[in-house]
Chain A
Amino acid sequence: MIEVTDLKIHYGDQVAVDQLSFSVKSGSIFGLIGPNGAGKTSAIRAIATLIEPTYGEILVNGFSVLHQPEIARGLIGYMPDFPPVYENLKTWEFCDLFAHAYGLKGEQRKAMVLQCLRAVGLEKNMNALCKTLSRGMRQRALLAKTLVHEPSILLLDEPAANLDPKSRIELRNVLLSLAEKGKTILISSHVLSEIEDTCDTLGFMKDGKMTLCGSLEEIGRQKGKGTCLKIHLSRPAPSLPSIIEKIPSLSAFEETGSGGTKYRAFLQGTESEAEQILAQLIQVEIPVCGFICEKPRIEDLFLELEADGNMESKAL
Chain B
Amino acid sequence: MTTQLGGPPPVEPAGGMDAAVGAFAAPADSLPAPGTLEGRPKSLFRLGFEVFVQNRLAIVGLVVVALAILFCFVGPLIYPTDQVTVDLTSANLPPGSGHPLGTDGSGYDVVGRLMVGGQTSLIVGLAAAAIATVVGTVWGAIAGFFGGVVDGIMMRIVDAILAIPILFLLLFLVTIVRPSLPVMIFVIGLTAWLVPARLVRGESLTLRVREYVQAVRVMGGSSWRSVTRHIMPNVIGTVIVNATFQVADAILLVAYLGYLGLGISPPATDWGAMLSNGTQYVFLNYWWLIYPAGFAIIIVVVAVNLVGDGLRDSVEVRLQRR
Q: Do A and B bind each other?
A: no
